[in-house]
Amino acid sequence: MIRILLISLTVISLSVSCGKGSKFKKGYDLPQILQNDTLRVLTLNSSTSYFIYRDQPMGYHYDMIIEFSSKYNLIPKIIVAENSTTMLELLKKGVANVIAYNMPVTNEMRDSFLYCGMQQISHQVLVQRVQHIDFMVTDVTNLIGKKITVIEGSRFHDRITNLNNELGGGIIIEAISGDTTLVEDLVRMVSRGEIEYTVADDNLAKFNQTYFNNIDVHLSISFDQRSSWMVRKDSPILADSLNSWFEKSVSQPVYLRIIKRYFEVAKGYSDVHLPTFNSNLGKGVISPYDVYFRQYGDAVGLDWRLLAAVSYQESTFNSEGSSWAGAKGLMGLMPATAASLGVDSAMLIDPEANIRAGAEYLKKLIVLFNSVENSDERLKLALASYNGGIGHISDARALAEKYGADENVWDGSVEKFIQLKRLEQYYNDPVCKNGYFRGDETVNYVNDVMGWWLQFKEKIKE
């Protein structure tokens, strides 16, 4: 199994990172990298490039650089920088070998860097709700008289302003502050019907389509923009190797699987509905697996209906299901988590083994929060950790404590800060160790599981 090293530069000063012994000598290219077994990779926290979910590193660019490293038997050392400018500075100083992120292709950058590896052509698109074709915007001229909400000062604001000028005016532009709002927030607002339209890069829009199946992102409103990974000019062999690898990879199954994972497979819980109690299973039965929920609930001291609620939220009782992130089986366990509980990946489709491990893991998380006096809050923190990962919940609790909220209360406190971790000023805060997080999914998860549990208890008594 390939080893991975992670470094966050949000908590390491640039002077330390570039200190004595950390720079590479001029001409440090692929042969020297291979000799030292380590590829140092710069990237940014984002919902598509790199993030941590269920305590596992993920992301489109992350998965791709892992594949490249695997080809050369290299240990990838992931360095998460604060912004693009910092990445360029660190690459130029020799702190890392490659930037694995969508860096815009410009002539001025070619003097210092080589564009290579993953290359992409993107453009800006209109985000709108799916409805009858008569009410859809299918041409930019249809935008006249429409209100489009964008973040003030963003490139999307610039583009829609220029488009308005090109059309001779008539587009109603609503520019809002970006201090507490992201493009993804605006996409969510379009999905919910809170605003009519917004603008996003096509890759981010397609990624969000996997969460919100009622949005349309087909209408392009800008010219194409090229972007690419980067290395220093004194690393031509590494550049050639990245180019050759990427050219071959785009037709390989592994690349298609990564594309599908991030830009096609549905995410979230919008398709989870109230379960239908099958009378054929008998009175007082929730699922065909109740005997295991009861057995292992008793074994760890948890209400079996709570375990059933987690299982329903994770898999709708599909024992062979797998989520986009790789969580498997009835209890939606990540392979690494299951392995720590003595269940290998092949056994995750076995209902009994999966439920046993899920019960043990949930109990372990509850015990982790033993210092929290209120049992309901303790359970909610454990459920949030089950869904999003212990690291992000620890970050949210640290933020709550820093900003004067109660780190032992989920409702209105820790849940608030888990949602704020989508914003740079929060996930880059020194008290945070796990970076960007899309916290609204975890908030929904906790609410849904608690809701299922209540309904199961009302339907089926002990």
Query: What is 175-233 written as a DSSP string?
Result: EE-SSS--HHHHHHHHHHTSSSEEEEEHHHHHHHHTT-TTEE---B-S--EEEEEEEET
Question: Which of 181, 144, 178, 147 shows the shortest CA–CA distance to 164?
Answer: 144
Is residue 228 within 8 A of residue 243, CB to CB? The reply is no
Out of 67, 184, 314, 415, which one is annotated catalytic? 314
Residue 22 CA to residue 95 CA, distance in Å, equals 6
Is residue 194 within 8 A of residue 173, CB to CB? The reply is no
Look at residue 118 and give its three-state secondary structure: strand
Tokens 């999905």, residue located: 191
Residue 2 CA to residue 228 CA, distance in Å, equals 25
82 belongs to the catalytic site: no
Residue 355 CA to residue 7 CA, distance in Å, equals 34
Beta strand pairing call for 225-232 and 98-104: antiparallel
Could you give the count of Cα atoms lying within 13 Å of 135 in the half-sphere of its Cβ? 7
Q: What is the DSSP letter of 392?
A: H
Residue 57 CA to residue 41 CA, distance in Å, equals 14
Residue 283 CA to residue 84 CA, distance in Å, equals 59
Residue 169, both tokens: 């005016």
Which sign does the torsion angle of CA 452, 332, 66, 260 carry? negative
Is residue 200 within 8 A of residue 48, CB to CB? The reply is no
Angstrom distances, CA of residue 459 to CA of 286, 317, 430, 454: 9, 17, 46, 9
Element (H, E) at 242: helix 236-249
317: left (phi over 0), alpha (psi -120 to 50) or beta: left
Is residue 210 within 8 A of residue 259, CB to CB? The reply is no
Question: Which of 81, 126, 119 shows the shortest CA–CA distance to 102?
Answer: 119
399: left (phi over 0), alpha (psi -120 to 50) or beta: alpha
Task: Give catalytic residues, as residue numbers.
Answer: 314
